[in-house]
Amino acid sequence: MIQIGEKIPAATLMEYIEVEGNGCSVGPNPVDVQVASAGKTIAVFALPGAFTPTCSAKHVPGFVEQADAFKAAGVDEIWCLSVNDAFVMGAWAREQKTGDKVRMLADGSADFAKATGLTLDLTARGMGLRSNRYSMLVKDGVVKSLNIEGPGKFEVSDANTLLAQAKAGV
């Protein structure tokens, strides 16, 4: 499992872009994790699935609500990762009104989740291999804080916990 002080693994996530601009075409676009995080401070949070109850009611809304506070604390971007496809993440972004506050990134084949060792096997519940629920602060590609939830919990990966770590310069 990835540890504080380690570089995030090489992986390509996908992002659904609805509006053409800045050279990005409409539709799913690849996001090279190492390139996209280079020289930036990123607040990353991952969750088991789009449109699921805790994720939709608490996890994403907390980061959307605190987006300005994260920026004030020196965070360049907020990323939400889930083992879903880019089209689902795009639809969820619309439903959650993430706008330019949270990048909704698809880890469709769970490559990033596997590479970090932060997978959650929900096969028995009909959902297959997913990402564990966690948050991490990444500076220039290096993990500075990591908050991993226990099974079925939502206690340490919330926006307020990661925001406090960002403010503390962790």
> Known catalytic residues?
55
Q: Choose among 98, 111, 96: nearest CA to 13.
A: 111
- Angstrom distance (rounded) from CA 160 to CA 156: 9
Q: How many helices (H) and strands (E) would you count in the chain?
A: 7, 9
Q: Choose among 135, 133, 138, 134: nearest CA to 170.
A: 138
Bridge partners of 81, per DSSP, are: 46, 105
Q: Are 112 and 76 in contact (CB under 8 A)?
A: no
Q: Is 43 helix (H, G, I), strand (E, B) or coil?
A: strand
Q: Are 64 and 96 in contact (CB under 8 A)?
A: yes
